[in-house]
Amino acid sequence: MKLTNANFSILRKLDELGENHDVAVVQAKQHISNQNRDLKTAQEKYDAVLLTHASHTHCSSECQNEMQSGMRKLFVSLMS
């Protein structure tokens, strides 16, 4: 479409549609940055838990009891 030959109302509508484009782009970039930060934080927490509980030697008695209970439930479900 040639903008020089376009109707005035079409040009005005294009201006209205493009008016908030920069704001929308900045907000989308901020949203993506926040999501990436949250993902990185979650991954770090997961890695820490995985490292701590890899052998379950550093776990509390509650954790060990829960682990044994979970293993029992898994064993019973496999046997049924």
Residue boundaries of the structural domains of the chain: 7-79
Indicate the pTM of the whole model. Answer: 0.48
Nearest alpha-carbon partner for 13 in 3, 22, 23: 3
Q: Please give the average per-residue pLDDT across 28-51, as a whole number.
A: 86
- State the pLDDT confidence band at 32, using cuts at 50, 70 and 90: very high
**What confidence score (pLDDT) does residue 30 get?**
95
Give dist(CA 12, CA 7) in Å, integer: 9
In the predicted structure, residue 40 carries a pLDDT above the cut 80: yes
- State the pLDDT confidence band at 28, using cuts at 50, 70 and 90: very high
| Rounded CA Rg of the chain | 28
Residue with the bigger pLDDT between 70 and 80: it is 70
Q: 21's torsion region: left (phi>0), alpha (psi -120 to 50) or beta?
A: alpha
